[in-house]
Structure formats: structure tokens, C-alpha cells
Amino acid sequence: MSESSFRRVLSVPEFRVLFAAEILSILALVAVQITLSVLIFDRTGSPLLSSLAFALGFVPHLLGAALLSSVADRFPVRPVMVVAQLVSGAVMACMAIPGAPVPVMLALLVVSGTVAPVYSGARSAALADVLDAEGFPLGRSLLRIAAQTAQIGGFSFGGALMLLASHTTALLVAAALMVGSALLVAVGTRHRPGRGGSGGLVASSLGGVRDAMRLPRLRAVFLLSWVPAALFVWPEALAAPLAAGMGGGPMLVALLLTAGPVGTVVGELAAGSLLTAGARRRWMLPLAFVSFLPMTLFVLDPGPALAVGVLGLGALGWGYTLALDALLLAETPEALRGRVFALGSAGLMITQGVGFALAGAVAEFLPTHLVVALAGLVGVLSVALFGRRFVRPRGVRTAI
């Protein structure tokens, strides 16, 4: 058992508040995406406009990180988080107005997506204050696990809402959940002053992004987070054609979709519970390679059982992200924390979206099993390329 275990992190009252607020927030966001997707399709009959209900929840993250992320550093993090969640809740309530035009709903999604990185940047900055350097990566891991679990549950929750209530009621429930998240943060976390800053918010935000990307090791941390994540989602993006190629149906699609998330949760829990901080750092790159090496077996056009097993096995290596989180904290100047964390989360959202699109584009020219094998190969190369900066010479010890 590591000296800084998940149990110790969960014993911190403020972290438990942030943990619960995250679950409420994800449930609200997923419920809105499902409700709007169905509502817009019912009104327009357009699959494209319906899909925008999902895409517009993520695409504006980069806009918010680039233009507004300095808010997370300049002002106290608690009011920043509260206001960001209340704005999102108000946006959801506006979506519930009966007869709201589809373009207005899509515009409101852009507003919500733009505010989201401000919240995530402030929340991660608060996490760094609430937990020590040992606990920070474990706390980030628990939030990821909670988000992934809540997202899966959120699809069921959103579907149940639509069966039991009207679209308007479903959106109002989502708004109430977001307000509940804001209230949890307001009453359950301590006031901490902002880190200061000068100049306009937009100029300061853009300057923070520029300063962060100029730091070689921090830039390498970003790339080691973003590029592998963009490739790791390729099997999920191609789950339906993969299953069809194996002669399977909806059940196989579901198994292919869940193998990665389940393996990821198990891998992160194992890395956080069984390895010390130093061991996680030593195993960071080997585990990152493990995330992709099994995917190359898809070149053999595996059957259903082997395919699901390979995806689950590779996902176990995702425990490497705990060491990466520790490096992110260590390499980030304190004055830039909010902006760096906002940029990191926004970049992850955008690159994963790009990954989904690229997987589909490549599958237009190659058999789907070869596309997954290609993702595994390119993933291995990306880990080698971006991880080389963190390979320590023999006999040299460095602190995270």
C-alpha cells in the first residue's frame, strides 16, 4: 500500500466535497447532451444537428481555455467555481424554455462549453491547495474515475429522465444538479485568495497559454497526455464497425466500448493503491507503452473474445497518468496553475474529439482492425517521442 493512498485522500473533507460536486456536474452535463440530442432530432430530423448537441459540449473548451483561463488564477478559486457552475445551471434552465429555437439551444451549449475549462482549471488549482504533492495525482485519478463512472451512469440517468418526464423537466433537473454542485463547493470548501495577475483577462489568458507552451518539460507533459489519449479512443470510435466485422451485434459493441473504461479504472486504482509515488514515476513510461502494445495485435484480425481482452489489458496501462499528473504539478509555475490546468483539460477534450474524427476518416481507407493496430503502433511511437525527456540516466535520481 502506498504511503499516500486513495483512502487518505478521501479522508480530506474538502476533497470529498469536490468529488461529490464533480459527480453532480457530470450527471447534469450528460443528461443535457442526451436530452438535447433527442429533442433536436425530433424537431429537425437532422442527424447532423443532433450530433452537434454532443460536439458543442466539448469544442468550445479550447476557446474558454485560451481566452478566459486567467480567471482561475486572478480570483479566489471558490467563487470562480461557484459562479462557473451557476452560469452552466442558468444556461441549462434557459434551454428548458418551451419552444426555444434550435440555434439558440446550440448557442447556449457553446456558452456552457466555454465556461467549463474555467471551472476545471479552478477546481484543479483548488485540488493542489487541498491535497499535498503526494495526494494530488491520486485526487485527480479519483476525479477521473468518478467522471467516467458518472458519465456511464449519466446516460442511463438521462434516458430514464426522458422516459419519465418531458424534455423541459429533464433540462430543469440537470440545471438543479448543476446548482447543487455549486452549492456544495460554496459551503464545503475554504476561501483561498487568488494568485493575482495584471492586464486584461483575455491577454493574460493567452499569455499564460504561451508561457506554458514555452516550457519544454511542461510542453512534453501536455503532449504525453494529449496525443496518446487521442489515439486510445480509436477502438471506441470504431466499436460498431469492429463488431460488425467480427459478426457480432449490439452486445459485442457494448463489450468493446466498456473494455477500455473498465480497464482504465482498474489500472488507475491499482497504480494508486499498490505503487508508491516513486514507483509510479519509474513505471510511467512502461505502463504508457502497455496502453498501446496490445492494440497492435489487431493486425491479426482477432475474434471477439481476444479483441475485448486486448482492449481491457491495454487499458490497464492507463495508470501511467498518475505519474503524469505528479509531473504536471511539479512542472507548473504556481502563478500559472489555473491557466495550465484549464489548458490541460481543454486540450485533452479537443484531442480526444479529434481522435474520434481521425479514426473514422482512416477507416474509410483501411479495414477497421488494421486502423486499431495502426493506432497502437502510432501510440507506441508517440510515447517514445514525447516521453524521452523523462527518461532518467542510470544512477540519477530526481524528485517529482
The full 3-state SS of 173-229, as one line of letters, equals HHHHHHHHHHHHHHHHCCCCCCCCCCCCHHHHHHHHHHHHHHCHHHHHHHHHHHHHH
Whether the pLDDT of residue 31 is over 70: the answer is yes
Q: What is the CATH number of domain 208-391?
A: 1.20.1250.20
Sequence letter at residue 87: V
- The sign one gets for the Cα dihedral 352, 358, 362, 368 is positive
As a whole-number percent, the residues of the chain with pLDDT over 70 amount to 88
Residue with cell 463489450: 255
> Rounded to an integer, what distance in angstroms lies between the CA atom of residue 71 and that of residue 77?
9
Q: Which residues contact 121 (CB under 8 A, 6 or more apart)?
A: 65, 69, 72, 337, 338, 339, 340, 341, 342, 343, 345
First to last CA, the chain: 19
Whether the pLDDT of residue 322 is over 90: the answer is yes
- The sign one gets for the Cα dihedral 325, 326, 332, 337 is positive
Q: Which residues contact 203 (CB under 8 A, 6 or more apart)?
A: none
Q: What is the CATH number of domain 1-191?
A: 1.20.1250.20
Confidence of residue 399 (pLDDT cuts 50, 70, 90): very low
Q: What is the pLDDT of residue 334?
A: 84
Q: What is the pLDDT of residue 52?
A: 62
Confidence of residue 49 (pLDDT cuts 50, 70, 90): low
Judge contact between 397 and 282, C-beta under 8 A.
no
* Average pLDDT value for residue range 79-96: 93
> Rounded to an integer, what distance in angstroms lies between the CA atom of residue 315 and that of residue 382?
16
- Return the domain boundaries, the chain: 1-191, 208-391
Q: What is the pLDDT of residue 392?
A: 62
Whether the pLDDT of residue 170 is over 90: the answer is no
Burial status of residue 187 (CB atoms within 10 A of its CB: 0-12, 13-18, 19 or more): exposed
pTM: predicted TM-score of the whole model, two decimal places:
0.80
Q: What is the pLDDT of residue 137?
A: 92
> Rounded to an integer, what distance in angstroms lies between the CA atom of residue 154 and that of residue 98?
23
Confidence of residue 162 (pLDDT cuts 50, 70, 90): low
Q: Per this entry, what is the length of the chain?
A: 400
Q: Please state, as a whole number, how many other Cβ atoms lie within 10 Å of the Cβ of residue 261.
A: 19
pLDDT in tens, 115-147: 888 898 889 888 988 998 889 999 999 988 887
